[in-house]
Structure 1
Amino acid sequence: MEDLKLECKCGEVTGVVSNVKPGCGNRLVCYCEDCRNFAKHFNKADDILNEFGGTEIYQIDPSRMRIYHGIENISCLRFSDKGLYRWYASCCQTPIGNTVGLNLPFVGLIHSFVASDQCIDSKIGPVIGSVYTEHAIGTPSDELKAGKSKTRLLFTILRKLFIWKIFGKGSPNPFFHKDGKPIVEPSLVSRNKI
């Protein structure tokens, strides 16, 4: 197994996802409006979104992830009181990832935070599918929608979440204290109409 290096665009926030291999997480593309709003909030649409408004995400258990440098530059926003925690590097506004909370062992790492000087496909495997394609801009090609069906993809995601929960893979968590509180208070941000 290998490590997946993490780095914001300016290099102030760095970290690692340890012991990765194809199949240990879920690499997918999300077309939901909130992921699109997250990229647009920082004027990063061209860096983050594909031509149909999708964001590539790598879902992993939090226990694999470490932030080695720049933790003081990590900030958070939410689009609603009960929405996902959306983490970013405040130094350069690089989106980092999404979490639900300490009780659900899940980090959706955004590809912009994965260091580009490594062979990502060989480390974590190909994209296995897409979610929320009904919210895509235009009509994604069959190639972009290729992969597991919605049902199979949902089963794969839920299966991994269940395993991560059973085996206590939610801790340590780089974004939450042991008491469940986020490491920084999230800002509540209005959704943009897209």
Structure 2
Amino acid sequence: MFKAIRQDLQAVFDRDPAATGRMEVVVTYAGFHALVAYRVAHWLKVRNVPFIPRLISQIARWATGIEIHPSAKIGTGFFIDHGMGVVIGETAEIGDHVTLFQGVTLGGTGKERGKRHPTLGNHVLVGAGAKILGGITIGDNVKIGANSVVLKSVSPNSTVVGVPARVIKSQGDRLPDATMDQTNLPDPISDRFLALEQEIIQLRKKLENRDVVPPRS
């Protein structure tokens, strides 16, 4: 548990340029506070300690605005940026070196039982406000754009955006860290409208050229 907490602390410095010192992070970072509370609650939960794990998670929720169920499974190097409104459900599973921004939900889709929350692979980035719902699997190195709603599994090394989310980039190599710049994500719907507009322009030009051609004698 303590090793995982140290790696979570290092993840803050690796991925947040605003982090300037360990004391600052330990005292002021709500995401780190929620994660420490989760580590303790999860440690107790897997040892079948009743009631206390949920009490710890509720106190952390009141204090940080971040809700992580003690039964969720979270790997090392996990980073929650800002974090207000983040919800991680009971059967969610998260790999190593994953980053979540504020407002992210790893939730279910109803009253189903069993594995009802998503599984995230390693090096996954989830943008602000994104919702990942159901017992789906998000592969390694996937990037999910802000406010996307993901309802189907996503293959590794992909980028998805939209409501519902659509794959707009898929490649064999890991997405580089530079792609954490979410301001440059493409909009597949807008791109399709632009393509249709260009097709209409081309058709109009063909019709205009056809009208000016003199009739054959």
Q: State whether TM-score is above 0.5.
A: no
Which band: TM-score by shorter chain? under 0.3
Higher RCO (Cα < 8 Å, 6 or more apart): 1
For normalisation by structure 2, the TM-score amounts to 0.20
Structure (1 or 2) with the greater helix fraction:
2
Decide which structure has the larger Cα Rg and report it. 2
Structure (1 or 2) with the greater strand fraction:
1
